[in-house]
Every structure is written in structure tokens, then in C-alpha cells.
Chains A and B, each alone.
Chain A
Amino acid sequence: MADLVAYILRKVILAIPVVLLATLIVFLMLFMTGDPINVLSPPHASVEQLDALREKYGLNEPVYVQYGLFLWQLLHGDLGVSVGFFTRDLEVGDLIADRLPRTLELMAIGLTISYSIGIPLGIFSALRHNSLGDRSVMVFTLLAYAMPSFWLGILFMWLFAVELSWLPIEGTTGGFASIILPAMTLGIGNAALTTRMMRSSMLEVIRQDYITQLRSRGLPEREIIYKHAVKNAILPVITVIGLDIGWFVAGSVVVETVFSWPGIGRLITDSISNADFPVVRGCILVLALFVIAGNLVADILYAYVDPRVRLG
């Protein structure tokens, strides 16, 4: 257990520069379009307002001081204030905190959908390698993967909400029914990846020596496949659950926009159209932290489930 703790500690320390890079990119976004004050202030701001904002963000100081200030404020949870028309002067942190649970909810259900489709389908496909069923599954994964999530979302919306009227078109008013379409949209693209990974992992495992060895002991085929082979094959698949967070973070921006799902992703696009730069920046930073956390989880999970990793 001690080596696991040391491993986690090492990984956490290694994540620090990544977090810094994320803050740096987000900080530099300010300068991509010219004078930062233009994007940090509401339109038609008064001279006093502008001066106050310059003071707050340290815009008269050298760039590295500004960055230091930015980090300092971040450490205190201060992401600045919104300059959008409807949300003027509200704390960005509060706006995000409001939306966060919605995004988490969506990701959790999307993740569940993607794994409960991907893993069984991958196993099925591998056990019937090269059969008609296997080929159909492969065609499904190719198609699902080629579908950008906003297009898949639109298709689902058109089919299940507009044509069949089974599910609400958008928003959250329909209770649990409302989350089904966005979560499915988010989950299916990733399910395609999970299926392919599970399939190739399974194909790799069932031709390993230890599977033959287990057969030579007279163990029932069912036990060899579902106990030994699946456990071996599933490890590399579930350990990337953390990396999937990256997919879901990226996908949630688009999917929430399609379905007007009031999460962080939707907040980004709304803020982009409202020219509310501080909010956009804050959201992107939060999503980036998600990704980093996801990667960390992936590393730790991998070491936890696969005893071989820690030592290597």
C-alpha cells in the first residue's frame, strides 16, 4: 500500500505544472484580441468602471505581475466578475457553481450509458470475432464515431422529440426524461470507443498463454471467459475512465448547447455570444481542471487495479 501512496503522490506533483499551463493558457487568452480591458469590461463602461477593473486585474502592471495576481485570485476562488448583459457584476465563481451540478449529472449518466453499452458489446464482438454480429458492431462503432456530437444530438432530437414526441426537446423541465437525450448523445460516441477498446483488449487476452493454461486445467469455458478473460481485458478499458472525462468535458459543451442544458458548457456558449469573456475564461479553466483530475484518476485507477503498474 505504501508504494501506491508514493505513486499517487508522484502523480499529483506531476499534475501541478499541467494545472499551471492551463491557467497560463487561460490567462494568455486575454491578450489574443488586443487590449485586455476590452474583453474584461462591459460594453459602454464608464471611465471609473474601467479604472476599477484595471486596478482589480492589475492591468497597469507588467505581464508577469498580472499573471501572479491572476493566480493569487484563483487561489482564493476569485475568477473575476461577469460583464454579460444579464449577469453583470455577478461573481464568475458563483455563476459556475450554479451550473456545475448540471454538468456533473450529465457526465455521470453519459458515462454510465457509454460503459453499459460499450463493455458488453465489446465482449460480444470479440467472442464472435469476424461473424456477422461482430461486423455489425464494428459498423456501428465506425458510424457512431464519425458523428460529431452536435449532429448526433440533432438527430436524436429530431427523431425522439420532434417526430416521435417521446422525450422533451430541450431544457430541464421534463425531469429525468430531459436528461436522457443529452446523456445518450454524450454517451454513444464514447460507447463506440469503449466497444472497440473492449473488443481488441478481449481479442488480445483470449489468445494469451494463460487462457490456454486455464483450459488445460479443465476449467469450464464460461469461467475462463467471464472470470479470467474479462477481468484481464476490462482493466485497460476501465482505467481510461479518467481519460473519458476529457471526451465528456469537450462533448458537454456541444451537447449542452444543442439541448439547452443549463450546465457549464451551455454557459460557455451563452457567454461567447454575450461577449462575456470573464465567464468564458472561468468555464474553460474549470473544464480544464476536470480533465486534469480525470487524468489523475486514470493513473491512480490503473495503478490500483493493476498491481503490475506500481512497481514499473
Chain B
Amino acid sequence: MTRMRKGLNDRLLAWKVSGGVKQTVADMLERGGRNAMVVIGSIVIMLVVLIALLAPVLPMADPTEMSDDLFEPPSTSHIFGTDENGRDVFSRVVWGARVSLLVASFAVLASMVIGIVLGLTAGYFGGRVDYVITGTIDLFWTFPPFLLALAFAAGLGAGLFNVVLAISISYWAGFARLIRGQALSMKERQFVEASRALGAKNWRIMFTHVLPNCLAPLIVWASIGVADAITIESSLSFLGVGTKPPTPSWGWMLQSGLLHLGSAPWISTFPGVAMVFTILGFNLLGDGLRDVLDPRMKGLRR
């Protein structure tokens, strides 16, 4: 989370226009395909997403079904063992992936929407509108998203929807800064002047010109955002203000496993490994794409 507010962030903000949607996508595929970080990250993400999607049809126990087989170590019947309530850890890890990905993608999507709307409005209209919005952005930007999310979550109480809400209202400022900066620089550009002269509407101009030009940094930021959101969600759940207990969540599983660390380490270990694996995947993709797509890195020997 802090990473966004340190060095990395300035690079994204200073990121200038690439060649539009087609060019960005082409670049991403071509250059990304040759970057080990991007490739590994993508494979990891695809694997996790695939497993999460297939959760309902995979041949495994119900994640909430309790049994009398408490604290069973990994075996052929329960490959990740069972927890303190006799539930199948493997099944819970898989369903936990579903919850984490769901929460994280909705949270990132929502904060992206907030960020895009506020950023475009501020950057394009300028003046007093910009002043107010930028002030708000900076205020939110000051606090680590986790602390904000913790405050909101503590106020809202646990629950899937509340977690998404808490994360999105804590995370949008970065997106807004990015879009605003881009909108400001686009405003000066000739072709925007030209399309305005041709009678194009302000909002239309913003969506057709500003957004495509932000595509590359947006994708990078979104990928890292998903990783951050998973971290925040699982941390909140670990603290008891995230998703509610029957919902299988990695953070919550680690919390309950903590009590049995000495006797049944598998309860914590498997969800922990799955979590790191997933976060690593999104971080790799984000970092790799940033290296690959950042125009300043082009042509540099690395």
C-alpha cells in the first residue's frame, strides 16, 4: 500500500501518453510476452482465477460443512487437512480465493470508477471544481488505505458488501490523481482543441481522449490495486472486521489457525500460501507491465 505513495507513484503520475488503446494493447502483448515477470504473473493469476471459477464444480467438500474429523492433518481424503471445526481446509482455501478475488475486483473497480469520475471532472473543468476535488484527493491520499478501510469497516461492521465499500472509499485517491494529471495535460493538446472546435461535447472528449491515453498506467495500477485490496481484505478479516465468519476468507482462516499453530499448522499454512501466491501474481503482473509499458524504459537496455 505504501508503495503507491512512494517512488512508484510518481513514476505513474508522470507517465505520459502512449499511443492509444490499440498501441497499448499491442505493446502489452508483445513486450509483456517477453517479460518474465508479466508472464509468471499472468500464469499465476489465470491459475487462481480458474480455480476460483471452478470452485462450485470441483469435487470437494462443502467449505462450511462441519464434521467430527477435527484437526486432521493433510491426507488423501483431505489434502490440506481439516480445521478446528472439522471443515475441509482445501475447500475453504478454494472458496476463499473466490471471496478474495470477488472483493478485490469489485473494490478496485469501484475505486477506479470513483477515481475516473472525480479525476476527469477535476482535470477537465479546472478552476474551483478542480480545487475542491484536488483538496479531497490529497486529504484521502495522506492516509494509508488500510487505516481508512479499518476506520470505515469498524464503523460499518463486518460483511462482504461493507468490506468492498470500505476498501473502495479508501483506495480511489490514487486513480483520481492519475486521471486528473492526464486530463490536465490532455486539455492543452491540440487535437482536443480541434475536436472541441468540431463541436464535440466535453464529456465525450474526456472519455474518448483522456481514458485511452491513461490505459497503460490504469492497467498497471489496477493490477497492483487488486493485490493491495486482497491484502487489505484479508487483514481486515484477520482482525474480525472483514467478511463475516461463515464466509470462507483467507484472513479469517489464518486468524482461527493462529490458536493451533503448534498442533495444526496446516490450518494457517495453506490459506497463507494461497494468499501470498495470489498477491504475488498481481504484483508481478503490475510491476512487469509497468517496466514494459513505461515509455521512458523503452529502448533502454536492461
Contacts and interface: CB of A to CB of B under 8 A. Distances in A.
**A–B contact, 8 Å CB criterion (strictly below):** yes
Contact of B6 (A28, A158, A197): A197
A250 B146 contact: yes
Contacts of B152: 25, 29, 32
Interface of A is mostly: helix
A11 B261 CA distance: 47
Interface of A: 17-18, 21-22, 25-26, 28-30, 32-33, 130, 142-143, 145-151, 154-155, 157-158, 162, 190, 193, 196-197, 200-201, 236, 240, 243-244, 246-247, 249-250, 253-254, 257-258, 268-269, 272-273, 280-281, 284, 287-288, 291-292, 295
Contacts of A145: 3, 283
B283 A146 contact: yes
A277 to B, nearest CB: 8
13 contacts: A29-B151, A33-B155, A142-B287, A146-B227, A148-B276, A155-B272, A190-B2, A197-B6, A240-B6, A246-B143, A257-B238, A257-B239, A280-B154
B150 A253 contact: yes
A106 to B, nearest CB: 16
B154 A254 contact: no
Contacts of B280: 142-143, 146
Contacts of B1: 247, 250
A272 B143 contact: no
A294 to B, nearest CB: 9
Contacts of A154: 254, 257-258, 261, 268, 272
A89 to B, nearest CB: 21
A131 B107 CA distance: 38
A240 B6 CA distance: 7
A245 to B, nearest CB: 9
B226 interface: no
Contacts of A22: 143
Nearest to B233: A148
A29 B235 CA distance: 20
Given A29-B151, A269-B239, A291 B261 contact: no
Interface string B1-23: 11101110000000000000000
A257 B235 CA distance: 11
B133 to A, nearest CB: 14
Interface residues of B, number: 48
Given A257-B238, A269-B240, A288 B147 contact: yes
A193 B239 contact: no
Contact of A148 (B5, B148, B279): B279
Contacts of B287: 142
Contacts of B283: 142, 145-146
Contacts of A250: 1, 144, 146-147, 150
A247 B241 CA distance: 19
A155 to B, nearest CB: 7
Interface string B259-278: 00110010010001001100
A300 to B, nearest CB: 15
B112 to A, nearest CB: 22
A284 B151 contact: yes
B283 to A, nearest CB: 6
Contacts of A147: 276, 279
Nearest to A153: B258
B252 to A, nearest CB: 11
Interface string B127-167: 00000000100110011101110111011110000000000
